[in-house]
Chains A and B, each alone.
Chain A
């Protein structure tokens, strides 16, 4: 294998492996029509003619020699010819080439896939941590592999917005009668992209859970060797989420402007004249001297635009007392450490940490129960939490469980009967009857 030199080998075979543009387009067109089925020489020739015509190389006569040469070249790597049946079919190499191109172009926006990817990342990271494996292994085996696809999904959306903006600009300037429809079409398209961005953002929700796991790693001081990689993952999440937000914001900004254009559409004639007027201003304005200064004068004594009037804007002279009175010495502030406040802060932080641990404990307990007996009566569970902990812990636990469940949307079912259930111990608190079930 080492002695194989790809460059040298490819140099000699290049033409056989990679078709030139017109021929490549012919192959793709054939593939689109026939895939792995049989087709005739006549089919190939009509495709050749169509492609050449489309590419602007139309020829008035039938180019027997050209067509023949192309079909012969195709047979070297891309097509089989069945001499007895007089049919053609794609060779494996040709078929794969076309399939790859198709895949590359089709593979566009797919939030379901992103969700799957994230679920997989979350699962594999959880396993990695539970089994005390090397975190960098996870980076290499899971994160790195998913990264390009995750990034490209956001790029696709941004690209689509770019295309819409470009289409808008061409639409506005075209003389076509159907411009208004084009503009409305663009508005709808942007709405779709916005929905997609929000779907993607939803899919990215799981990244918060992954961030939680990473934070756990750092908290337990296991992370020293992985700090740079942990940061990389966190940065990637932060960036992706903010990029998605930007896509939505960008659309939010563009949409009212498009609507305004549609609204102002009947002003086209005025717009056309405005264009002429601007040219007129640019070409006919002159520079004149006024004393020692120069000024631009608009043509034809065009009226000026007064934007302010000094007679109506009286100036007041305000003299503040501070400026005329002697400066008093400024007292030096002594800074001390407020031990009480610091204690309080520490107490708060510890409480926050303790709360977080309790919430994690209860959430884990709930999911463990779900895993083992497949069903969790959440309402009594909730009251159990209240008995042992405070109400805030119970509420946050409920929130956490529901959020986590969102992550594994396909795994659990939540049934809610909107009937308040009261607890015997805590009379003031009631909760709807809620059951979580494993599917």
Chain B
């Protein structure tokens, strides 16, 4: 694919783009630090505009593939598309590398729970960490208990002030991480409470799409094993 492209268009043609000098370094740092780039975020719209030109995108994709063995990915549809660098190993075994920063499992679960509340259950005005926590306590008792058991590593539905506090700290930190990734945009950077969800939040779900599609089989396998 990469070879086909390089025949058609000039190799790494983005370098010749007249805006490359001003933008490429910033774009490169942003992508490599794991930030997802979309129309509204990062606030420097030039990054998105540069990537969104298909010639730039195609040649940048080759560049990252050829020199770093990284995948520059474009996902989402039309107005809601987003770009990011995929650091996951493909086909080279799933041994975690020390050089990689993985999204903590609890953050993955919290992110999925947020997607469920916001998108699947239609809590359309859910747009702050504090509201998420309140809603979790008030309407998602079962999920909250399961999650808290995992985070606090105990098996009781009961809690104490201290463990509640710890639990809530994990929630806060997970959203901070989502903010760092560009999955959401803080309304006030210093408060980190109210936010706007960005299209790239869907990456979490797309990442597990194969497992989600085959969830019925997964559950069956699990039951058979028991």
- 7 smallest CB-CB distances across A and B, nearest first, come from A172-B122, A308-B101, A306-B87, A308-B34, A296-B105, A282-B146, A307-B34
Tell me the minimal C-beta distance from B217 to chain A in angstroms.
11
Complex interface bits, A233-260 against B, C-beta within 8 A gives 1, otherwise 0: 0000000000000000010011001101
Known: A283-B146, A307-B34. 14 other contacts (CB 8 A): A169-B121, A273-B216, A274-B120, A278-B113, A280-B215, A280-B219, A281-B109, A281-B112, A285-B109, A296-B150, A297-B105, A304-B102, A308-B32, A312-B87
Q: Which residues of A are interface residues toward B (Cβ below 8 A)?
A: 165, 168-169, 171-173, 250, 253-254, 257-258, 260-261, 264, 270-271, 273-285, 287, 294-313
Interface SS of B by simple majority:
helix
Which residue of chain A has the shortest Cβ distance to B147 in the bound complex? A282
Docked complex Cα distance between A60 and B208 (Å)? 56
Q: Is B124 an interface residue (CB 8 A)?
A: yes
Docked complex Cα distance between A118 and B121 (Å)? 43
Tell me the minimal C-beta distance from B28 to chain A in angstroms.
10
Docked complex Cα distance between A304 and B104 (Å)? 8
Contact present for A295 and B105 (CB under 8 Å): yes
Q: 8 Å CB contacts to A: which residues of B179-203?
A: 181
Docked complex Cα distance between A299 and B226 (Å)? 14
Which residue of chain A has the shortest Cβ distance to B207 in the bound complex? A305
Q: 8 Å CB contacts to A: which residues of B73-121?
A: 80, 85-88, 94, 96, 99-106, 108-109, 112-113, 115-116, 119-121
Contact present for B102 and A307 (CB under 8 Å): yes
Q: Which residues of B are interface residues toward A (Cβ below 8 A)?
A: 32-34, 68, 70, 80, 85-88, 94, 96, 99-106, 108-109, 112-113, 115-116, 119-125, 127, 143, 146-147, 150-151, 153, 177, 181, 204-205, 207-209, 211-213, 215-216, 218-219, 222
Q: B112's contact among A169, A171, A172, A274, by CB below 8 Å, is which? A: A274
Which residue of chain A has the shortest Cβ distance to B183 in the bound complex? A307
Listed A/B pairs (17) with beta-carbon separation below 8 Å? A165-B124, A168-B124, A173-B122, A253-B125, A253-B127, A257-B124, A261-B119, A282-B146, A285-B109, A285-B150, A298-B105, A298-B108, A300-B218, A304-B103, A304-B105, A305-B207, A312-B85
Which residue of chain A has the shortest Cβ distance to B78 in the bound complex? A263
* Given A254-B125, A284-B222, A305 and B212 contact (CB-CB distance below 8 Å): no
Q: B33's contact among A171, A172, A270, A313, by CB below 8 Å, is which? A: A313
Docked complex Cα distance between A253 and B204 (Å)? 23
Tell me the minimal C-beta distance from A408 to chain B in angstroms.
39
Contact present for A294 and B120 (CB under 8 Å): no
Which residue of chain A has the shortest Cβ distance to B205 in the bound complex? A274
Chain B residue numbers with a CB within 8 Å of A296 are 104-106, 109, 150-151
Contact present for A313 and B150 (CB under 8 Å): no
Contact present for A261 and B109 (CB under 8 Å): no
Contact present for A309 and B100 (CB under 8 Å): yes
Chain A residue numbers with a CB within 8 Å of B213 are 270, 273
Which residue of chain B has the shortest Cβ distance to A161 in the bound complex? B125
Chain B residue numbers with a CB within 8 Å of A294 are 153
Docked complex Cα distance between A279 and B145 (Å)? 12
Tell me the minimal C-beta distance from B4 to chain A in angstroms.
26
Chain A residue numbers with a CB within 8 Å of B85 are 312
Q: A168's contact among B34, B106, B122, by CB below 8 Å, is which? A: B122
